[in-house]
Every structure is written in structure tokens, then in C-alpha cells.
């Protein structure tokens, strides 16, 4: 079965530190890739997405992600985190063989940024 | 309007009750989704409607019954639920099903089954 792995379950950083969250998926076909964020008490919001083209995508709030097809990875990065980035981050994938309708989420990474 | 709204925000029901969750969007999206999210877990897909037709049912028990009366509205009818069905139920919509689509999520209904 297709799956999405996020290896970092909990990450604690100080403000201004750099962030990289790992995401790997197990599917050899065409995918659409997403990072969603869930701030405390708020609903899921899309940070960025990759459909095709330039594998380096930029999203909101200074986040970016790089799609490396050979590694089945879509890691999320931010050069300098802020306290307000404290949230849960989900990597997610839609797959060609489900008509891109089924969004499969990774297990999530809880990020705590200390001031 | 770029919002997906869900009502109610909270719902407490007994195992013999019948209740419904409602989801609405006015973005002209033609695909709508129900997800279930347990505490500290990722959302799990339950149902997909595409152009008001059920296109995916992820083997959800029949005590959950979805309905899509029109392109803006999605309901989830609940009957004879179990305590383990307690969770956050999320609705989402996208422009259409298929590639090059992102899903927009509502705030969810937090359901407690006693």
C-alpha cells in the first residue's frame, strides 16, 4: 500500500534556527505533493504544493520544499523559524492511480519553537 | 469567499442518536471530501464526492452515511455510532477531483460519542 513517512515526530528549535522536515513516499508513479500545517486550535492550511515543473517550490510564510524524484522525497525547509511557526506539519500525497482524489497524509511532525 | 464552513463545531451524541454534520463551500468547487482525524493522528479519508456523485468510499461502516445534495453542500449522517467514532471530522473541497488540485479544509466538527 502507498504510504507517506515523516521521520521526525517531534522537533524542538530555538527562534532563528533553520528547519528541515523530512518526507518520503512509497509510490513509483506520478504524484502530487503537499505540505499542510495545523496551528494550535486552527484548521489545516496548505503551505505549498508540487504538481510538476521546477522541483523547488516556494510556499507561504517563507517555507520551501524540494521534490527529489530519485529519492521519493519532498522535504520542507525554512531558513529561520519563528515562535509563530509552532504547529503540526503534515506531508501529503495524491496518486495517479486513485485519480489524484485520495490525499494520503504522513504521520505529522510537531514543531515547537522556543522564543 | 475562500472558506469551507462546518457545523456544528462540537457535537455530543449517544449511541442511539441520529445526527448530521454539515459542510458548505461557495468557491465553485466540484469535489468534496470527508476525513476523520483522531487525536495526534493524521486525517484519514472517508468519502469523496465528485460532481455530486460518490466516487470513493474508503470502506467506511454504514453507520456513516454521506450525502451531497448540491455542489456547495455536503452532509454526513450519523446513526448508531460507537464511542470509538469520537474524533474530529474534517470536510474539504477542491476545484475538481483529479490532478493539479489542492484541497481546502474546514475547521472540523469535534464529535464525542457517549
Top residue of B5, B6, B43 to mutate, by most chain A CBs within 10 Å, is B43
B73-77's contacts with Cβ under 8 Å and 24+ in sequence apart are: B73/B22, B73/B23, B73/B24, B74/B22, B74/B23, B74/B24, B74/B32, B74/B34, B74/B49, B75/B20, B75/B21, B75/B22, B75/B23, B76/B20, B76/B21, B76/B23, B76/B34, B76/B46, B76/B47, B77/B18, B77/B19, B77/B20
B31: confidence class by pLDDT, cuts 50, 70, 90: very high
Higher pLDDT, A42 or B74: B74
For B:6-65, CB contacts with A below 8 A are 31, 33, 40-45, 48, 50, 55-56, 58
Q: Residues B26-35: what's their mean pLDDT?
A: 94
User: How many Å lie between the alpha carbon of B3 and the closest alpha carbon of chain A?
Assistant: 11
- B61, three cell numbers: 461502516
User: How many Å lie between the alpha carbon of B96 and the closest alpha carbon of chain A?
Assistant: 9
Cβ atoms within 10 A of the Cβ of A28, count? Answer: 8
Higher pLDDT, A28 or B72: B72
Please indicate whether, in this complex, the C-beta atoms of B100 and A51 are within 8 angstroms of each other: yes
Nearest Cβ partner of B97 from A51, A101, A106?
A101
Please indicate whether, in this complex, the C-beta atoms of B98 and A103 are within 8 angstroms of each other: no
Q: Does B98 reach chain A within 8 Å, measured CB to CB? A: yes
In the predicted structure, residue B1 carries a pLDDT above the cut 80: no
Nearest Cβ partner of B55 from A36, A46, A101?
A101
Top residue of B42, B92, B96, B99 to mutate, by most chain A CBs within 10 Å, is B42
In the predicted structure, residue B44 carries a pLDDT above the cut 80: yes
Please tell me the least confidently modeled range out of A69-78, B57-66, B97-106. B97-106
Q: Would you list which residues of chain A are within 8 Å, Cβ to Cβ, of chain B?
A: 30, 32, 34, 36, 42-46, 49, 51, 90, 94, 96, 98-108
**Residues of chain B above pLDDT 70, percent:** 98
Task: Write down the pLDDT at residue A96.
Answer: 78
What residues in A contact B27, CB-CB < 8 Å?
Answer: none
Q: Tens-of-pLDDT digits for all 115 residues of chain A?
A: 678 999 889 999 999 999 999 999 998 788 899 999 999 888 899 999 999 999 999 999 999 999 999 999 999 999 999 999 999 999 999 887 777 778 999 999 999 999 8
Q: Residues B79-92: what's their mean pLDDT?
A: 96
| Helix (H) and strand (E) counts in chain A | 0, 12
Task: Write down the pLDDT at residue A1.
Answer: 66
Amino acid at each position: 500500500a502507498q504510504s507517506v513517512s515523516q521521520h521526525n515526530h517531534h522537533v524542538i528549535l530555538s527562534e532563528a534556527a533553520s528547519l528541515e522536515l523530512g518526507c518520503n513516499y512509497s509510490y513509483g508513479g506520478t504524484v502530487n505533493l503537499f505540505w499542510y500545517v495545523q496551528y494550535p486550535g486552527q484548521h489545516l492550511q496548505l503551505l505549498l504544493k508540487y504538481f510538476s515543473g521546477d522541483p523547488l517550490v516556494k510556499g507561504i510564510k517563507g517555507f520551501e520544499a524540494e521534490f527529489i524524484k530519485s529519492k521519493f522525497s519532498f522535504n520542507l525547509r525554512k531558513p529561520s523559524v519563528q515562535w509563530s511557526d509552532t504547529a503540526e506539519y503534515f506531508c501529503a500525497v495524491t496518486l495517479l492511480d486513485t485519480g489524484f482524489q485520495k490525499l494520503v497524509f504522513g504521520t505529522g511532525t510537531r514543531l515547537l519553537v522556543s522564543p | 469567499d475562500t472558506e469551507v464552513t462546518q457545523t456544528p463545531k462540537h457535537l455530543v451524541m449517544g449511541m442511539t442518536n441520529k445526527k448530521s454534520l454539515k459542510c458548505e463551500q461557495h468557491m465553485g468547487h466540484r469535489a468534496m471530501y470527508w476525513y476523520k482525524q483522531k487525536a495526534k493522528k493524521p486525517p484519514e479519508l472517508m468519502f469523496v464526492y465528485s460532481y455530486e456523485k460518490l466516487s470513493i468510499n474508503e470502506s467506511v461502516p454504514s453507520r456513516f452515511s454521506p450525502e451531497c445534495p448540491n455542489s456547495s453542500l455536503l452532509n454526513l449522517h450519523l446513526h448508531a455510532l460507537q464511542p470509538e467514532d469520537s474524533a474530529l471530522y474534517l470536510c474539504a473541497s477542491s476545484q475538481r477531483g483529479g490532478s493539479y488540485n489542492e484541497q481546502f479544509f474546514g475547521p472540523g466538527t469535534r464529535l464525542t460519542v457517549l
